[in-house]
Amino acid sequence: MRDNKCIIFLFSVFCLLSVSAIASEDKLKTADEYLRTKNYVKAKEVYRDIFLAAPKGISGEKALFGMGKADYYLKNYYEARQNIKRFISVSQIPEYRDEAYLMLGYISIHFQKFKEAEQYFEAVGESLKEKASIGKAEVALKTGDMARAEYFLAALSKRTIETDPRALYTRSMVYSSKGMHREAVNTINRILDSTLKEQDIRVEKARIFFNARKLKEAERLCRSIIDSSTSSIEKINAKRVLLQIYEVDGNVDEALKLAIELLPYELGDDFKLKIVSLYDKKGDLNNVMKYLSYLSNKKYRSAEIEKRLKSMIASKDPRVVEYMQKFSLYLDADAPFIVDASRYLIANGKKIEGKQLLMKALKGAVRGEASLYIAELLIKEGKYVEAEKVLKPLTIDTRYLYRASYMVADIMERQGKYVAAIEYLLRIVKTATDYRIAAKLGDLYYKTKDRQNAVKYYIMASNKGDGLSSVKAADCLYVSGDYTKAKTYYKRALDFNIKDPKSLQWVQYQYGKLTKSNDYLKKAVTGGGEIAEAAATILGDK
């Protein structure tokens, strides 16, 4: 009796399982029919129900593959990849695996993972070998290897190369890349619009039209995709082609509008520079600077902002101070211009911003130049101790030795420490090419009433090209009664084309008097004042 009950129970379970299996098979047939008739949303729903009811076993594996395939055609590539990869990891159905690898290859192309795509195409078995070769040709095309793309296409049968839509598309792209635009357009036009949409290559057709400079046709196709596509990625790619069309067509406003829409989807600086270029064409400097400030390459960002700020300064643009305030902080700490920008801001009353820029410069390669300017500011404020503290380290650096030493000597002179200032400058005067060191020594010796050394260093400065030191040397020589040498240095001062009118008038008077030259005395008269009167008296006596 007990055995009979057991047999009845097992039979009932078998019947239930059989009924369940039959129901699953029926549902699979329904889902497969939805897939065949391209009702991908409904197909996905039914496959999902089957998988949730029986995630393990043949029905579950088929449903999992069906979900991946439906998502693939719905262009839900992330979900498709996930389900197809799960299917491959558990599947015992070899006839589905080739198609699964093929779809994974195309999904990888979509994500621009070309090495991964080629590996998936390599895994495709004999049943879909030709389709895998088309995929490999497309990978080669995407990576710029035309010879390899043509190699894979050449291996296809004549029927495949003439009828397979993916083969036709790849061949048209090869033509387009080689500049054979008529052939490219004729080939892509052989693919039905519905097939282009299903294969997700409508944007590529627009790109082929663009390359052939069929701009109106390309624009219409792009707009059609943007208006009708359910795929956000396809819309974005259509907008990318449309942007190129507007750029070539010179439609800057529409190009800008699209470029700003696309910016969140574009990595790297090249796209931001495209926006900068478009704003440059519009003459919109504010937005040019704004988008330059978004660049991640700090060196390039700094160089481009510097170029435009320099141009504004050169053209005396009234907005230059405003733009310096807004954008100079994007200058690189290593850029020499950062100190010039700081100087410009401070000179135009923006001390806080200028000093902030100086603090940044102190962290970069131009810290020495920044320190010199900080010392200069401190000297102007009468903060001599702080300035000297900044300058002392620079006097042992060969790059700043002469300028720093000159400034230290200037501080000492302001404090009346003439001897100390002289000692400081004597260390460097012989090797200095800058006449200011010798000129400063001449002034310091003159203040200590050492006229002999004053003349010596004025002459040294004169020999290095300083007109004012030539005047001072001549005056000292004149006072000492050495008129011959005095004439020499007055003449040298004239030759140096002195810019200060009073100094020039004085030299004309002295040289004219010593050489008895009416011409120079007459020039002195035109300057007016006491010197003119003295020159006129001499001319009158003559």
Q: Each residue of 162-193: pLDDT tens digit?
A: 999 999 999 999 999 999 999 999 999 999 99
Q: Which residues contact 67 (CB under 8 A, 6 or more apart)?
A: 44, 47, 48, 51, 79, 83
Number of H helices, E strands in the chain: 33, 0
| pLDDT, position 13 | 36
- For residue 42, is it within any domain? no
Q: Which of 216, 237, 266 delimits the end of a domain?
A: 266
| pLDDT, position 408 | 95
pLDDT at 22 over 80: no
- For residue 485, is it within any domain? no
- For residue 181, is it within any domain? no
pLDDT at 7 over 60: no
- For residue 213, is it within any domain? yes
- For residue 527, is it within any domain? yes
pLDDT at 14 over 90: no
Q: Cα angle vertex 10, ends 8, 13, to 5°?
A: 110
Q: Which of 224, 239, 266 delimits the end of a domain?
A: 266
- For residue 121, is it within any domain? no
Number of domains, the chain? 2
pTM: 0.75
- For residue 5, is it within any domain? no
| pLDDT, position 16 | 35
Query: What's the CA gap between 527 and 468, in Å, rounded?
Result: 18
Instruction: Specify whether the CB–CB gap between 433 and 464 falls below 8 A.
Output: yes
Three-state secondary structure call for residue 332: coil
Domain that holds residue 258: 192-266
Query: What's the CA gap between 289 and 259, in Å, rounded?
Result: 16
Task: With cut-offs at 50, 70 and 90, classify the pLDDT of residue 467.
Answer: very high
Report residue 117 CA to chain centroid gap. 31
Q: Each residue of 286-311: pLDDT tens digit?
A: 999 999 999 999 999 999 999 999 99
Q: Which of 266, 282, 300 delimits the end of a domain?
A: 266
pLDDT at 6 over 60: no
Query: What's the CA gap between 47 and 28, in Å, rounded?
Result: 7
- For residue 331, is it within any domain? no
